[in-house]
Amino acid sequence: MGEEREGDEELLVPPLNFAMVDNGIFRSGFPNSANFSFLQSLGLRSILYLCPEPYPEANYEFLKDNGIRLFQFGIEMCKLMAIDNAEWTGAFCKHSRGNNPRSIENVRNHPVLIHCKRGKHRTGCLVGCLRKLQRWCLSSIFDEYQRYAAAKARVSDQRFMELFDISSFKNLPLSFSSTRSSANR
């Protein structure tokens, strides 16, 4: 009977560099069709795509079929250091642009997956900036970044995270979790 059950189970394969960032917030590299069942198991409401290239049709159809919203913040890697603080924070903080409906902090978007091509640089920088908002120390932020970027880690990415200015953000939660009470939504 155990063998029959194993044959009937669907294989759940996470995307490259997949991890939980906070409750209801995930990160990864670009998902492909082999990852779709896994993504369905997360019950995603939104995907925050950090690349400037158009989203592939097969992936877009998967999102449409599963009621998942796509928010694209197309960031050219070579221009990352030139992005201004307010522009970058618009991707994840509703305080930066009023009540930004596309932000990570907006719990109506949770569960949300943040991804770029490999889940290393753009995603790593965004998560690193989020960690600064959560008051992580830089050494822990860099350790997490290096875990995913590995041999491709860039000093310029770490410098970007180091220079990210959180002084304009007041009363931010230490968690961007979707498990906060519904009174806060």
**CA pseudo-torsion sign 94, 116, 177, 133:** negative
Catalytic residue among 51, 116, 125, 129: 116
**CA distances in angstroms from 27 to 47, 77, 128, 145, 166, listed in the order given:** 10, 17, 12, 12, 21
**Whether 130 contacts 176, CB under 8 Å:** yes
Is there a contact between 117 and 32 (Cβ–Cβ < 8 Å)? no
Per the DSSP assignment, residues forming a β-bridge with 20 are 26
Task: Determine phi and psi for 166, rounding to 5 degrees.
Answer: -100, 5
How far apart, in whole angstroms, are the C-alpha atoms of residue 116 and residue 15?
Answer: 11
- Bridge-partner residues for 72, per DSSP? 49
114 neighbors 148 (Cβ within 8 angstroms): no
Is 125 assigned a catalytic role? Answer: no
Residues composing the chain? 185
How far apart, in whole angstroms, are the C-alpha atoms of residue 117 and residue 45? 20
Q: Which residues are catalytic?
A: 116
